[in-house]
């Protein structure tokens, strides 16, 4: 027969198991995707998503094993060395050997992770693709909106056919997309979950990021719903409207993208849309380089 204490432990364990099964059931949606993605990483849709997921899973398994082992030892020692009649406590000043072991092993593990991940870091953060097939665009963040800018069909920046989009990013599939980004006000964090891309936008800094989408919006919709879209979110608390700083990314086949680019470029050339005044703070030359306007100051001369 179980004692009252162990019956309580067994009841708690059973309750946790039932809750876990309930969550697992909820995480299995009719279309096989949406519910799972509520509780786990969304489907990877970029060329480097698998590398990031591999690192994420390896570190998760390692830390998960460590957590279970340490907590298991803790519970074991709690039971084994619980208070008992006739047993005296043993006092220990510690063991230098054990302290060296549990210090050196984590240090070696962290060093190994640093070495293993260096290749992925160099590929994703250390280099930025270039070349005629690379799609270049600008991102200017502000509370609480994403502002995107494209060179028009003439391929030059700062001309009448430049395209300006608010909270809408449109890119071709299977092409390197390079985004030069900064912020007008506070730190924002540009996050494309399916691309495994996240980068802070810092006022006063222009940071380039890149990705290459491997799955078009239409392909992803075929497995989900026609209303589904890639989401753009801000992953940095940036003010009262932080939760509303969202956007949509459309990944199109090359032909569709070319048609979209031509139409939007013609519309802006004909001045059919207003341009956000935020771009007055980021003027560029035809090569896309930022024009820095120097403030002229007059020196006052004192006459004696």
**What is the spatial distance between Cα 116 and Cα 4, in angstroms, rounded to a whole number?**
50
**What is the spatial distance between Cα 12 and Cα 272, in angstroms, rounded to a whole number?**
64
Looking at residue 7, its pLDDT comes to 54
Return the number of other C-beta atoms located less than 10 Å from residue 162's C-beta: 21
Q: List Cβ neighbours of 232 (8 Å cut-off, separation of 6 or more).
A: 146, 167, 169, 190, 191, 192, 246, 247, 248, 249
**135-281 — its CATH code?**
2.60.40.420
Supply the DSSP string of the chain, one letter for each residue.
---HHHHHHHHHHHHHHHHHHHHHHHT--TTSSTTHHHHSPPPP-BTTHHHHHHHHHHHHHHHHHHHHHHHHHHHHHHHHT---TTPPP------HHHHHHHHHHHHHHHHHHHHHHHHHHIIIII----STT-EEEEEEEETTEEEEEE--TT--TTSTT-EEEESEEEEETTSEEEEEEEESSS-EEEEEGGGTEEEEE-TT--EEEEEEB-S-HHHHHHTS-TT--EEEEE-S--STTGGG-EEEEEEE-HHHHHHHHHHHHHHHHTT-SPPPGGGGGS-B-TTSPBPPPPPP-PPPPPP-
**What is the spatial distance between Cα 184 and Cα 273, in angstroms, rounded to a whole number?**
22
**What is the spatial distance between Cα 87 and Cα 94, in angstroms, rounded to a whole number?**
21
| Angle value at C-alpha 243, between 28 and 33, nearest 5 degrees | 15
Q: Phi and psi dihedrals of 177, rounded to 5?
A: -110, 120
Looking at residue 18, its pLDDT comes to 45
Distance of CA 163 to the CA centre of its chain: 25
Looking at residue 289, its pLDDT comes to 84
**What is the spatial distance between Cα 142 and Cα 238, in angstroms, rounded to a whole number?**
9
**What is the spatial distance between Cα 29 and Cα 36, in angstroms, rounded to a whole number?**
7
Q: Can you give the pTM of this predicted structure?
A: 0.77
| pLDDT tens digit sequence for 45-85 | 999 999 999 999 999 999 999 999 999 999 999 998 888 88
Where do you find CATH 2.60.40.420 in the chain? Answer: 135-281
Looking at residue 44, its pLDDT comes to 93
- Length reported for the chain: 304
User: pLDDT per position in the chain (304 positions), as tens?
Assistant: 445 555 555 555 555 544 443 443 333 333 335 556 777 889 999 999 999 999 999 999 999 999 999 999 999 999 988 888 888 877 878 888 889 998 999 999 999 999 999 999 999 998 899 888 899 999 999 999 999 999 989 889 988 999 999 999 999 999 999 999 999 999 999 999 999 999 999 999 999 999 999 999 999 999 888 999 999 999 999 999 999 999 999 999 999 999 999 999 999 988 888 888 899 889 888 888 888 765 544 444 454 4
């Amino acid at each position: 027969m179980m004692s009252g204490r162990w019956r309580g432990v067994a009841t708690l364990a059973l309750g946790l198991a039932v809750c876990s099964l309930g969550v697992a059931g909820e995480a299995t949606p009719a279309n096989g995707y949406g519910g799972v993605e509520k509780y786990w990483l969304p489907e990877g849709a970029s060329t480097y998503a698998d590398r990031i997921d591999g690192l994420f899973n390896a570190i998760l398994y390692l830390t998960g094993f460590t957590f279970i082992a340490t907590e298991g030892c803790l519970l074991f020692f709690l039971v084994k060395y619980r208070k008992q009649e006739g047993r005296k406590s043993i006092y220990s000043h510690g063991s230098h050997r054990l302290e060296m072991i549990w210090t050196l092993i984590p240090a070696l593990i962290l060093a190994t992770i640093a070495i293993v991940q260096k290749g992925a870091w160099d590929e994703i953060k250390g280099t930025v693709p270039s070349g005629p097939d690379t799609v270049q665009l600008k991102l200017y963040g502000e509370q609480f909106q994403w502002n995107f800018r494209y060179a028009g069909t003439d391929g030059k920046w700062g001309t009448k056919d430049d395209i300006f989009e608010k909270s809408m990013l449109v890119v071709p599939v299977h092409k390197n997309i390079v985004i030069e980004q900064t912020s007008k006000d506070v730190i924002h964090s540009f996050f494309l979950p399916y691309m495994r891309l996240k980068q802070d936008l810092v006022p006063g800094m222009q940071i380039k990021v890149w990705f290459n989408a491997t799955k078009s919006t239409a392909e992803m919709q075929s497995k989900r719903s026609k209303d589904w879209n890639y989401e753009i979110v801000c992953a940095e608390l940036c003010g009262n409207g932080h939760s509303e700083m969202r956007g949509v990314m459309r990944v199109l086949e090359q032909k569709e993208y070319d048609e979209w680019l031509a139409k939007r470029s013609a519309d802006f050339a004909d001045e059919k849309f207003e341009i956000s005044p935020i771009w007055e703070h980021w003027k560029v030359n035809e090569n896309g380089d930022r024009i820095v306007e120097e403030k002229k100051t007059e020196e006052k001369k004192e006459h004696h």
